């Protein structure tokens, strides 16, 4: 049975599981990847710093301080200057440096492998590497921070003091390309790709686990809903051998106990109804005999007739109880829908005339259904009777029937006041009624009849706009509605 109300949105366990797994893996991979990258960078940078310092010290040890004292602007063509520059260029090629240069305590060039004139200032040692140069001038070899050229090539500079008679008179700078930066870029890209692949694999694994977990849960949810709707004929299979399987076994045990209790209640209800019907039959017979003995025009005879009418109403209630308590198994056969609808409308014609209800039908030609004809006719009669009773001030009753694939759809629509949302959930429960008179079993029997004949029942109602009951039944043997 479906109603027009919608269930609130609930987050799915599968979505939560996938999200949790992905977040966990991404946090772990992100943290470990960042840690690994950082440790690798620090290690490579530490090696680079050591290499810079040792290279600068090695180059500085080969330069004589007393020679540097005599170098002055204009000495670029002197043989001693050319010899020193040639020596630096060889050292540059050996260590793979970008540039080697020597400057005095004022930051003026003394020697430069790139041909910079003597006495020209190095601006970067006063701005970028000021603290490092000061440290070298104090006698401690050091290194600069990482810097990039205009063509995005990474370099670092090693600084070492040059002594003359125990005094630092100059500093040698060695620019060496930081090749580990490119290696770190490749390494970072590899870590990112690894994280992405891991995330995709995690999603796939988590999704598979979610399906394996949620499918048996959804199966149990469907079983629980069927039990809640009174459909307890299907056995609940244990979907797995874990806690969910234990839950399935527990639900199956509950289903069997509910079936046993329901059978006991139905048996008791049928027995009580049968015991009440017997004296009711006697009351009606004796009331009829008394009425026959009274002369015409005697007001007591009218009272007896009212007694007989009330007995008949009570007998109808007993019949409803018996139909609910001891439903006969359906004997399905192929039968035209138009005949069943016409028979139900004929039986209800006096009630429709008294209520001022206009009856209309729209039955597609040749539509046949496969079900128990008597049960379906009683089911249609109950639905149409409810519709007529809902239209106290008159209205229109419309019955439509159409073939939908392998099923037949029958709609019973009224123009009444509609059904309040607060009572829709209880509408098909036994003994629930919104009327002062009635057993409250009519729609419960309708729901049971539809289910027994392999169909399903839908309700669409809105207050102030009428009600539509839609019955979907098989069109032929073995078809699914």
Domains within the chain, CATH numbers bracketed: 15-183 (3.30.450.20), 262-325 (1.10.287), 333-474 (3.30.565.10)
pLDDT value, residue 428 = 61
Rounded to whole angstroms, the Cα distance separating 245 from 89 reads: 80
Mean pLDDT value across the chain? 80
pLDDT value, residue 306 = 80
User: Residue 476: left (phi > 0), alpha (psi -120 to 50), or beta?
Assistant: beta
Per-residue pLDDT reduced to its tens digit, 325-344: 566 678 889 999 999 999 99
- Between 284-288, 351-355, 382-386, 409-413, the lowest mean confidence (pLDDT) is in 284-288
Mutual angle of helices 13-61 and 79-95, in 10-degree steps? 150
Per-residue pLDDT reduced to its tens digit, 126-176: 788 888 889 999 989 998 888 787 777 788 889 999 998 888 989 999 988
Residues paired with residue 410 on neighbouring β-strands, in sequence order? 401, 471
What distances in angstroms separate CA 293 from CA 279, 289, 290, 306, one per listed residue?
21, 6, 5, 16
CA 20 to centroid of chain Cα atoms: 13
Confidence of residue 41 (pLDDT cuts 50, 70, 90): confident
Would you say residue 425 has pLDDT above 90?
Answer: no
3-state SS assignment for residue 145:
coil
Confidence of residue 260 (pLDDT cuts 50, 70, 90): confident
Per-residue pLDDT reduced to its tens digit, 184-231: 778 888 888 888 888 888 888 878 877 777 777 777 778 887 777 666
Per-residue pLDDT reduced to its tens digit, 79-92: 888 888 899 899 88
pLDDT value, residue 6 = 40
CB 387, CB 411: distance < 8 Å: no
The residues, any chain, with a CB within 8 Å of residue 30's CB and separated by 6 or more, are 195
pLDDT value, residue 408 = 92
pLDDT value, residue 2 = 47
Confidence of residue 356 (pLDDT cuts 50, 70, 90): very high
Q: For 448-459, what is the mean pLDDT?
A: 85
Phi, psi of 311 (to 5 degrees): -65, -40
CB 304, CB 287: distance < 8 Å: yes
């Amino acid at each position: 049975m479906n109603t027009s109300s919608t269930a609130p949105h609930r987050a799915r366990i599968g979505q939560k599981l996938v999200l949790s797994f992905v977040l966990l893996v991404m946090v772990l991979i992100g943290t470990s990847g960042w840690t690994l990258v950082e440790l690798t960078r620090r290690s490579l940078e530490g090696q680079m710093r050591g290499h810079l310092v040792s290279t600068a010290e090695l180059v500085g040890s080969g330069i004589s301080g007393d020679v540097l004292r005599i170098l002055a602007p204009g000495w670029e063509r002197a043989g001693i200057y050319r010899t020193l520059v040639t020596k630096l260029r060889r050292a540059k090629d050996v260590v793979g440096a970008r540039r080697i240069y020597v400057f005095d305590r004022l930051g003026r060039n003394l020697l430069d492998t790139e041909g910079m004139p003597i006495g020209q200032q190095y601006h970067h040692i006063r701005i970028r590497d000021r603290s490092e140069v000061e440290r070298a001038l104090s006698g401690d070899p050091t290194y600069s921070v990482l810097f990039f050229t205009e063509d995005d090539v990474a370099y670092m500079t090693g600084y070492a003091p040059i002594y003359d008679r125990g005094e630092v008179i100059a500093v040698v700078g060695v620019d060496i390309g930081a090749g580990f930066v490119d290696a770190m870029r490749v390494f970072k890209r590899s870590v990112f790709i690894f994280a992405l692949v891991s995330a995709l694999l995690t999603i796939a694994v988590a999704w598979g686990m979610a399906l394996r977990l949620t499918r048996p849960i959804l199966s149990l949810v469907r079983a629980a809903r069927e039990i809640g709707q009174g459909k307890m004929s299907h056995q609940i299979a244990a979907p797995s051998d874990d806690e969910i399987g234990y839950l399935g076994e527990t639900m199956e045990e509950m289903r069997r106990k509910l079936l046993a209790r329901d059978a006991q209640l139905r048996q008791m209800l049928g027995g009580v109804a049968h015991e009440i019907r017997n004296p009711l039959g006697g009351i009606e017979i004796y009331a009829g005999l008394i009425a026959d003995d009274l002369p015409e025009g005697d007001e007591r005879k009218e009272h007896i007739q009212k007694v007989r009418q009330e007995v008949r109403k009570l007998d109808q209630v007993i019949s409803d109880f018996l139909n609910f308590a001891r439903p006969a198994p359906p004997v399905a056969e192929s039968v035209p829908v138009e005949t069943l609808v016409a028979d139900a409308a004929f039986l209800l014609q006096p009630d429709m005339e008294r209520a001022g209800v206009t009856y209309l039908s729209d039955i597609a030609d040749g539509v046949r259904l496969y079900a128990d004809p008597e049960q379906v006719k009683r089911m249609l009669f109950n639905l149409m009777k409810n519709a007529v009773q809902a239209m106290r001030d008159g209205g229109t009753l419309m019955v439509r029937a159409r073939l939908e694939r392998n099923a037949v759809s029958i709609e019973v629509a009224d123009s009444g006041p509609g059904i309040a949302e607060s009572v829709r959930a209880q509408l098909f429960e036994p003994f629930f009624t919104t009327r002062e008179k009635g057993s409250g079993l009519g729609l419960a029997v309708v729901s049971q009849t539809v289910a027994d004949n392999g169909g399903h029942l839908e309700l669409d109602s809105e207050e102030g706009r009428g009600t539509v009951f839609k019955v979907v039944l098989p069109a032929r043997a073995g078809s699914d509605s």
